[in-house]
Structure 1
Amino acid sequence: MRNKIDSRIPRYNKLIMPTFVALKELGGSGTNDEILNQVIKDLNIPDEVADITHMGKVNQSELSYQLAWARTYLSKYGVIHNSARSVWSITPDFVGIEVLDEKEIVSAIVKKNAERRNKAASSSTKDEAPDLPEDDDPSNDDEEFPDEIKPWKEKLADILQTMDPYGFERLTQRVLRECGFSQVEVTKKSGDGGIDGTGKLKINGIFSFNVAFQCKRYSGVVGAPDIRDFRGSLTTNIEKGLFITTGTFSKAAREEACSPGKQQIDLLDGEEFINKLTEYEIGVHPITTYTIDEDFFRKI
């Protein structure tokens, strides 16, 4: 049985245009976090609504999940493109467009998905899928998950949640090294609010920063108090702080991390951590599949 989605959270089909507008306001391109923050601002979504988790899962908010679906529909329709660095950008054909027809986009993609499924299952008796009602869920089969939230990613998120905490710290150590850190050391004892490790990050082979990090293998939403506690543990020789969690950060935590006049804290949530594991193929390996172009073989 599907969990009832809080009525205060906009559904994916109502976030297609706000996502497009957010990207325009961001200069035509943006990351997932930038899009999320811009949509929250534009739609004036309260903190308590923005922080509601998706079906109780700890590494993503419901709003982020719905936005992932909105981006998927926009991408399949050709409005936006996702680069190798996970930066979304508006495609040239839509740069000059100001207003999108959300219903047309949803209808076109639903029809395309139905045609693909009918080809794959010749025994199906469906003629054509109708427009999705507003309260329907587009994730009706594994193939229709948003590209950003495939089932294997959810399984990996569960594995990270059940890892030994010191094992997670060692995994974090490996990820940071792959990202360009050196002299990465993990402390022997882990404690909430404290420093779990340190390292050096060199930029362009010239500038070096002393970085302290905290790893929170956390099954929940990290709040602003956690950020303040971590900041309070940083010593004067630390130039940057990095907070890593398998969960997600509340809107208040993200604001606290970049609060003016305070030492800035960089954040890496569960979704971004998994993206790093994927980018550097740490514990995961890609599998190549092929789609058969039946028309090609008939017409050649």
Structure 2
Amino acid sequence: MVQIPKKIPTYDQMMNPLISALRELGGSGSIEEIYEKVIKIMNLPDDIVEIPHGDRPGAQTEVAYRLAWTRTYLKKYGILENSSRGIWSLSPAAKNIESVDPNEVVKKVREMTNQCKGTEDLPQEQDIDAALDIEKTEKKPDWREELLSVLVSMSPDAFERLVQRLLRESGFTHVEVTGRSGDGGIDGKGIVKINGFLSFYVMFQCKKYQGSVSASQVRDFRGAMLGRTDKGLLITTGSFTRDAIKEATRDGAPPIDLIDGNQLVEKLKELSLGVKTEIIQVESVEVDKEWFASI
């Protein structure tokens, strides 16, 4: 089990920063926008922000994991709501609320969920998984973890072929894999058209990682594509450090789009590439006693 440093803020410590983040974002925001804003408000250093939650491939950060529970607690408390498109917002009840008492939030939510009866103590760091297990149905299903493990176990050339298929299914044309040709770190290239008019020549690189791609690796990729294309795509089964994300969009440099492990598995699911989705309908049968009585 990964030892979690004490300097990482607990989910209850992030409640008021999250509320402030949403107010700064205009009352609503995506998970990514909220995450970045909370980090900025709390002035969290990169060495804390980049600590992964667990050691599985493509694991989210510990801060992101705890912030997810922060959202869940505040939603149950009634001051947050979220849409089916993953946008979180302050509820009408939060209109005049600038801050909350984290202890009161935890107490009320636990009473509502019949958890931790007889105690008002906040969970200890080493018990965070058990203490936060208040809404199992809202946890991400484990198919993502299974799929990431499958991707990591693929051979490099098979993974490149998968990315080639993924890009073709996503609308790219003339997709070629060049990874084994010693093409300066470029694994492949293709053309993407926008609305049938504008075309962009894109070079891509595939990194079958369990860890994080660093800023220096993004710079190396940009160096390999420099002068050959104006657009790059870097796909990994792992994640990207914050410095890598900043480097990818650095002013004055050719932009590089980043696709991490979580985005990759979601795209594979969307395109039904190696992932089967079954919609299960629940049948509800009701006996109409009045109908029988009328016979």
Shift of 1:276: 1.7
Secondary structure of the corresponding residue to residue 99 of structure 2? coil
Tell me the distance in 1 between the aligned counterparts of 2:73 and 2:168: 35
Which residue of 148, 156, 162 maps to 1:171?
Answer: 162
**Mapped contact 1:189–1:196 kept (Cα < 8 A):** yes
Cα 1:102–1:280, aligned 2, differ >3 Å: closer, same or farther? farther
Pick closer, same or farther for the CA change 1:188–1:252 going to 2, 3 Å: closer
CA distance in 2 between counterparts of 1:171 and 1:143 reads 38
How far off is 1:235 after superposition? 4.2
Matches within 5 A, 1:1-300: 2-59=1-58, 60-78=60-78, 79-84=80-85, 86-94=86-94, 97-114=97-114, 132-135=122-125, 136-139=127-130, 144=135, 147=138, 149-189=140-180, 194-288=185-279
- CA distance in 1 between counterparts of 2:173 and 2:96 reads 45
Q: How much identity, in percent, do the aligned residues show?
A: 43
CA distance in 2, matches of 1:255, 1:3: 27
1:171 aligned counterpart, secondary structure: helix
Preserved CA contact (<8 Å) 2:123 2:131:
no
TM-score by length of 1: 0.79
Work out the number of aligned pairs and report it: 283
Task: Say if 1:23 and 1:185 are closer, same or farther in 2 by CA, change over 3 A.
Answer: farther
Q: CA 1:155 to 1:141, structure 2 compared with 1: closer, same or farther past 3 Å?
A: farther
The amino acid of 1:38's aligned partner reads K
Distance in 1, matches of 2:283 and 2:120, equals: 26
Q: Which amino acid aligns with 1:246?
A: T
Contact 2:144 2:265 in 1 (8 A): yes
Matched to 2:189, the amino acid is T
Please tell me whether the aligned partners of residues 110 and 117 of structure 2 are also in contact (alpha carbons under 8 angstroms): no
The CA distance in 2 between the partners of 1:226 and 1:66, in whole Å, is: 28
Alpha-carbon distance in 1 for matches of 2:49, 2:202: 30
Q: Deviations over 1:193-222 (max 9, x none)?
A: 711111222223332211111110112111
Structure 1 runs not aligned, ≥5 long: 116-125
Shift, 1:61, TM fit: 1.7
> For residues 200 and 113 of structure 1, do their structure 2 counterparts lie closer, same or farther at Cα, with a shift above 3 Å needed?
farther
SS of the residue 2:175 aligns to? strand
CA distance in 1, matches of 2:271, 2:95: 32
Report deviation, 1:55.
Answer: 2.0
Check conservation: 2:76, 2:109, Cα contact below 8 A. Answer: yes
Matching residue's letter, 1:213: F
Residue 30 to residue 148, structure 1, CA distance change in 2 (3 Å):
farther
Worse-matched range after superposition: 135-144 or 230-239: 135-144
Q: Residues of 1 paired with 2:7 and 2:257: CA distance?
A: 29
Unaligned runs of 5+ in 2: 288-295
Could you tell which deviates more after superposition, 135-144 or 189-198? 135-144
Query: Structure 1 pair 92/143, CA: closer, same or farther in 2 (3 Å)?
Result: closer
Q: Please, what TM-score do these two structures have when normalized by structure 2?
A: 0.80
SS of 2:54's partner is helix
Cα distance in structure 2, aligned partners of 1:61 and 1:44? 16
* SS of match in other structure, 2:205: strand
Separation in structure 2 between the aligned mates of residue 233 and residue 260 of structure 1, nearest angstrom: 18
State the structure with more CA Rg.
2
**Cα distance change, pair 55–111 in 1 and its aligned pair in 2 (3 A):** same
CA distance in 1, matches of 2:181, 2:17: 41
Matches of 1:169 and 1:88, distance apart in 2: 35
**How much is the aligned-residue C-alpha RMSD, in angstroms?**
3.4
Contact map agreement 2:152 2:210 (CA 8 A) in 1: yes
